[in-house]
Amino acid sequence: MSMDRRQFLKIAGISSILGFGASVANATHPIWVKGLDPSQVEPNKEALTAKRWAMVVDMSKFKTDEDFKKTIDACHLTHNVPDFRNPDGSVDTKNEIKWIWKTAYENAFPGQPNRFMDEHIKEMPFLVLCNHCDNPPCVRVCPTKATFKLSNGITMQDMHRCIGCRFCMAGCPYGARSFNWVDPRKAIKPEAENKEYPTRTKGVVEKCTFCTERLQIGKMPACVEAAPKGGLIFGDIEDPNSEVRKVVSTKLTIRRKSELGTGPAIYYLIGGSDHA
């Protein structure tokens, strides 16, 4: 039997299609094609829900370094956030991972330069975290949809999808995102690990998640629980009866760089109850 090149290629092509087709069809369970049926999954009954989660930071309640430290530590221990240190014990700012941290007024609110402003406020450290924006630049620039908006307004991330391109870090005007340059487990003490929460791996970007995982089991965010009483007010800003809504609608609060149009959901109450 003789065949020319054209015939040979045709037969080879058809047989490889048949061969592959058969093996794929054989190995495929419907779950690989259809996924989970919505009837197979449901949220926890005790989960806290909201139309739009938001937070008020009442700066008058944060008086001492200890107040800040307690709040920050609660978050970082809950989420296995590494604590990179230089040999001399100071913070290793290159590798540092921050979910919630304190910063100076001029860095938190660079658009509010009053020449003769209250010295106390000017010198005060501010508690800053991811603003869970209405219109987050990080989500817009993420090429893999690793970071995205949840229906309750939280800017969430899927660490499995993050490719570490750091576009989101360039996009975020608040510096709320940190990149894992090295394996974070090197800077987490094994005995301090929260066994109910994962760590991250080298090469992904991470940030505050508004404790999505705690809200889903009916708990308030870790920072809110640890902060001085009334220091962090967390709730549904779309609910007219919620405490955050009441504070925001009756007192003067400011948001970080709101002029950029990102719609941050963290409101700062500067004067606090003493002055308002």
Binding site residues, other proteins, CB under 8 A: 29, 31-32, 35-36, 39-44, 47, 80, 148, 150-152, 156, 158-160, 193, 195-201, 212, 216-217
d(CA 85, CA 24): 51
- Paired with 157 in beta bridges are 147
Let me know: does 168 contact 205? Beta carbons within 8 Å: yes
> Residue 206 corresponds to which tokens in the numbers above?
């991470």
CB of 195 to other proteins, least distance (A): 6
Which C-beta is closer to other proteins: that of 124 or that of 159? 159
Which C-beta is closer to other proteins: that of 43 or that of 240? 43
Burial class (CB in 10 A: 0-12, 13-18, 19+), 220: middle
CB of 97 to other proteins, least distance (A): 14
CB of 219 to other proteins, least distance (A): 13
CB of 26 to other proteins, least distance (A): 12
User: Strands 53-58 and 266-269: what pairing?
Assistant: parallel
114 dihedral zone (left: phi>0; alpha: psi -120 to 50; beta): beta
Which C-beta is closer to other proteins: that of 32 or that of 116? 32
- From residue 177, give the alpha-carbon distance in Å to each of 60, 81, 149: 26, 12, 15
Which C-beta is closer to other proteins: that of 98 or that of 214? 214
Contacts of 221 (CB under 8 A, 6+ apart): 75, 210, 211, 214, 215, 232, 234
CB of 193 to other proteins, least distance (A): 6
Which C-beta is closer to other proteins: that of 10 or that of 202? 202
